[in-house]
Amino acid sequence: MLPNPAMKRYNTRMIRLCLVYAAFLLVAIYSFSHHLVGGPAAYVVAMLPALPIIGVFASVGRYLVEEADEYLRMLMIRQTLWASGLALSLATIWGFLESFDLVGHIDSYYVAVLWFLGLGVGAVMNRLTLGSTVKC
């Protein structure tokens, strides 16, 4: 199997971003639970955990730019289309259900969770329709 440098860099970036996310989340939770921040600083600290999540989106985009193998690139593009379609559709449905007071409120960052789940759905669909997936 040929080494895939783009996928290796993608995996390295993902591991680093997960570690940064865990650290930022702990900082944010600790800061707010101990009332250490207020005013504009509170906004900055509250947004900290979002930064590595945004980094994950950027990382997927970076992988698509760096991947030299056009077939693997197409597989990942199909996964991101599934992810985007799934996350946006479910968020839209939930938004209307919430507007008509039929369901409770869910924090909007769960759209990102849905998107990551959608990547998995996309991988399954690639496997079912093309017989292959991007190997991490």
Site for another protein in 48-87 (CB under 8 A): 68-72, 74
- Find out whether 15 and 52 touch, Cβ atoms under 8 Å: no
Angle at 45 between CA 61 and CA 106, to 5 degrees: 70
78/114 with CB nearer another protein: 78
63, 31, 33, 60: which is closest to 48 by C-alpha? 31
* Residue 123: exposure state from Cβ atoms within 10 A (0-12, 13-18, ≥19): buried
The span from the CA of 115 to the CA of 111, in Å, is: 6
Q: Minimum Å distance from CB 113 to another protein? A: 28
Q: Minimum Å distance from CB 39 to another protein? A: 52
Is residue 128 a contact point for another protein (CB under 8 A)?
no
Q: Minimum Å distance from CB 67 to another protein? A: 10
Tell me which stretch binds another protein (CB under 8 A): 24-32, 48-56, 77-85, 126-134.
126-134
Is residue 29 a contact point for another protein (CB under 8 A)?
no
Is residue 102 a contact point for another protein (CB under 8 A)?
no
Is residue 111 a contact point for another protein (CB under 8 A)?
no
The span from the CA of 27 to the CA of 29, in Å, is: 6
> 3-state DSSP call for residue 74?
helix
28/78 with CB nearer another protein: 78
Binding site for another protein (CB under 8 A): 1-2, 4, 68-72, 74, 130-132, 135
